Structure 1
């Protein structure tokens, strides 16, 4: 249980807030690359309460600018993409992707006003189908050489969704392994060979045991949480018999992402990014170690529950998340369908726009959440003091941050402690792109 003041400290992300100051030290996802396709590659973006406009110019360069025109404050999201930049529809002022004003056409001939005008502009990088932006002070950190960032484009797929709650409670569900045995419980096990693109519907690695059966029948896991160079490693063990143990290793990448197994061949790297204090987007990169990702199938699956253009959930608080009494009695623990993202969304949104942590009572299985909050508070205090914060790799350091390994499988009981490392290495050795990294 924490105080209201402590809760505000770790949840509020606006400009000038302690947590907001920390989060601005990192690259943040702001859009999917697919959102900058079509005849008008421009999108308004809200990040941590600030408003921007994201666009791709005729040369393919991506720019992120403050949304209000520096002339009279008109909305640049309605501007014209032309002549190498974004032109305000109010008076025609033109800005390139760096924020430099190129033209002030209504001014007298020979005017040099445009040379003195710069719009707020921010570094952007496209990685594996996601546009990342840096809106903090100073130089941004390098990108770690995690699998999701170095796998070939053919082996990754990116998507996102909007939740109506604070970013922190959305993130914390990813460091709570115990909830999967309840929130994501299915009373029947599907054919695991038909599980492509579906989380918690396949078989655990090195077995034919459906993950749904493991979660349903072994609901008292042994959870270990430990600091790691990238943030935190969570190891969850479920004893299946005297001979076998189910091992699930997940990771929290500081400050607001996690890397988890989706199947024996695919991992998910997912960020929870504040739109403002009461809304957040999850951005996910699915990374395959075997063959190329079937992007069309993955996208079609997600569009069954996600509605464009804002990537909002078709099942939400206004339609009770599709809740069915009959389904809850016979098919799923929640009665809210087969998509676990909907389950997680309900759990997080049901806490309120910002969870009141003064009323919570954490248990033993919440050790990951408790460790993360200590790390978060320490980092917030460091950022406030102008000191170094975690996960700020230089270009030279980025190569030392690989993986991180994320596995869901069944091990011999006496090898459970080493299973993740062994299974991860075997998976990489069998992978065209990941084996090349091992050889290097």
Structure 2
């Protein structure tokens, strides 16, 4: 349980808030590249409680500008792509991707007004199908060499979906290893041949037991949390018998991503990008090791649950998340279908738009959640003292961060600490693109 003041501090992301200042020191996944694959590549973007316009100019360059025209604040998301930039339809003011005003055509001949006008622009980078933006002050930090950024385009797939709640509770479900045994419980194990692209439906590394069975039958994991150069490593240990332990290693990449295993072949790196204080996009990169990703199948699976162009969930509070009491009695623990994202969406949205943590009672299984909150509060305090957040702000150290290692595997109980690393090394060894070792190990 925490105070209302601390809860406010942890959750608010607008300009000038302690949390907003921290998040603005890190690259934010503001859009999918797919969102600009249109005849008119212009998208309104809302992130961290601010409004922007993202566009690709005629030369293919990307720009991210404040959304309100600096003339009289009309909406640049309705602008015209022409003459080397984005032109406001109100009075024709034209801006390039750097925010420089190129033309003020309604002004008198010879006017130099446009030389004195600049719309604020923000650095943008494309990584693995996602447009990332740096929304803070000063120089942008380097990107860590995470697997999802290192793998070639053939081995990654990006997608996203909207959640109607605060970003922190959306993140916290992903660093909670205990919930999967309940929220994502299936009463029957599916056909492994039909598990591609689906979380918790395949078998673990080194085992013929499907993850659905492991989670369902071994619901009391021992959880260990370690501080790392990138955030936290979270290990959930489920004792299968005296000789064998199931090891699930997941990671928090500070401040708002987690890296988890999807199957023996694929991992998920998922950010939780605050639209504002009460709406969040999960933005994920699915990374495959030995085999290229079947992007068509992955996309088709996810479009069964999300609608374009805004990636809105088809199930939600408006239709009780598809809840079926007969299904809850016989097939799934939630009665909300097989899509893991729907389960998570219900869990975090049902906590309220911003969870009231003054009413919660953390348990021993919530070690990672408590540890992450401490990291956030320390980062906020550092910024208030004029220092950068500690994690991934040093360029040289950040470039050495690779991985991070994540796995579901069976291991001899006495050797689990070395065996899960062996499983990670074996999988990486089969990947034509992966570095042979993890700098953090």
TM band (smaller chain): over 0.9
Large movers: runs of 4+ above 4 Å: 435-439
Determine the C-alpha separation between the residues in 2 that align with 1:437 and 1:63. 36
Q: Answer whether contact 2:403 2:438 (CA < 8 A) is retained.
A: no
Question: How far does residue 438 in structure 1 lie from its aligned partner after superposition?
Answer: 8.0
Question: How far does residue 193 in structure 1 lie from its aligned partner after superposition?
Answer: 2.1
Question: How far does residue 421 in structure 1 lie from its aligned partner after superposition?
Answer: 1.4
Residue matched to 1:296: 296
Residue matched to 2:271: 271
Q: Answer whether contact 1:144 1:393 (CA < 8 A) is retained.
A: no
Report 1:74-153 matches (<5 A).
74-153=74-153
Question: How far does residue 286 in structure 1 lie from its aligned partner after superposition?
Answer: 0.3
Report 1:260-409 matches (<5 A).
260-409=260-409
Tell me: CA distance 1:438–1:370, structure 2 relative to 1, closer, same or farther (3 Å).
Answer: closer
Q: Answer whether contact 1:21 1:384 (CA < 8 A) is retained.
A: no
Determine the C-alpha separation between the residues in 2 that align with 1:436 and 1:387. 35
Residue matched to 2:208: 208
SS at match of 2:299: helix
TM-score in terms of structure 1 length = 0.98
Determine the C-alpha separation between the residues in 1 that align with 2:388 and 2:229. 14
Question: How far does residue 386 in structure 1 lie from its aligned partner after superposition?
Answer: 1.2
Residue matched to 1:192: 192
In structure 1, runs of 5+ residues without a counterpart are none
Q: Answer whether contact 2:229 2:392 (CA < 8 A) is retained.
A: no
Residue matched to 1:164: 164
Question: How far does residue 51 in structure 1 lie from its aligned partner after superposition?
Answer: 0.4
Question: How far does residue 395 in structure 1 lie from its aligned partner after superposition?
Answer: 4.3
Residue matched to 1:177: 177
Q: Answer whether contact 2:53 2:64 (CA < 8 A) is retained.
A: yes
Determine the C-alpha separation between the residues in 1 that align with 2:13 and 2:435. 40
Determine the C-alpha separation between the residues in 1 that align with 2:51 and 2:10. 22
Determine the C-alpha separation between the residues in 1 that align with 2:194 and 2:61. 40
Q: Does 1:218 align with 2:218?
A: yes
Q: Answer whether contact 1:207 1:409 (CA < 8 A) is retained.
A: yes
Determine the C-alpha separation between the residues in 2 that align with 1:371 and 1:152. 33
Question: How far does residue 394 in structure 1 lie from its aligned partner after superposition?
Answer: 4.5
Question: How far does residue 396 in structure 1 lie from its aligned partner after superposition?
Answer: 3.1
Question: How far does residue 435 in structure 1 lie from its aligned partner after superposition?
Answer: 5.1
Q: Answer whether contact 2:402 2:438 (CA < 8 A) is retained.
A: no
Determine the C-alpha separation between the residues in 2 that align with 1:241 and 1:44. 54
Tell me: CA distance 1:17–1:393, structure 2 relative to 1, closer, same or farther (3 Å).
Answer: closer
Residue-by-residue CA offset, 1:349-387 (whole Å, 9 max, x unaligned): 000000000000011100111111111111111112211
Determine the C-alpha separation between the residues in 1 that align with 2:4 and 2:435. 49
Residue matched to 1:3: 3
Q: Does 1:430 align with 2:430?
A: yes
Question: How far does residue 436 in structure 1 lie from its aligned partner after superposition?
Answer: 6.5
Q: Answer whether contact 2:130 2:158 (CA < 8 A) is retained.
A: yes
Q: Answer whether contact 1:175 1:234 (CA < 8 A) is retained.
A: yes
Residue-by-residue CA offset, 1:154-188 (whole Å, 9 max, x unaligned): 10000000000000000000111000000000001
Q: Answer whether contact 1:222 1:237 (CA < 8 A) is retained.
A: yes
Determine the C-alpha separation between the residues in 2 that align with 1:193 and 1:82. 50
Q: Answer whether contact 1:247 1:419 (CA < 8 A) is retained.
A: no
State the superposition RMSD in angstroms.
1.2
Determine the C-alpha separation between the residues in 1 that align with 2:202 and 2:310. 30
Question: How far does residue 208 in structure 1 lie from its aligned partner after superposition?
Answer: 1.0
Q: Does 1:15 align with 2:8?
A: no
Residue-by-residue CA offset, 1:47-100 (whole Å, 9 max, x unaligned): 111000000111111100000000111000000011111000001111000000
Determine the C-alpha separation between the residues in 2 that align with 1:404 and 1:199. 19
Q: Answer whether contact 2:92 2:104 (CA < 8 A) is retained.
A: yes
Question: How far does residue 328 in structure 1 lie from its aligned partner after superposition?
Answer: 0.1
Q: Answer whether contact 2:230 2:392 (CA < 8 A) is retained.
A: no
In structure 2, runs of 5+ residues without a counterpart are none
Tell me: CA distance 1:5–1:34, structure 2 relative to 1, closer, same or farther (3 Å).
Answer: same
Q: How many pairs were matched up?
A: 439
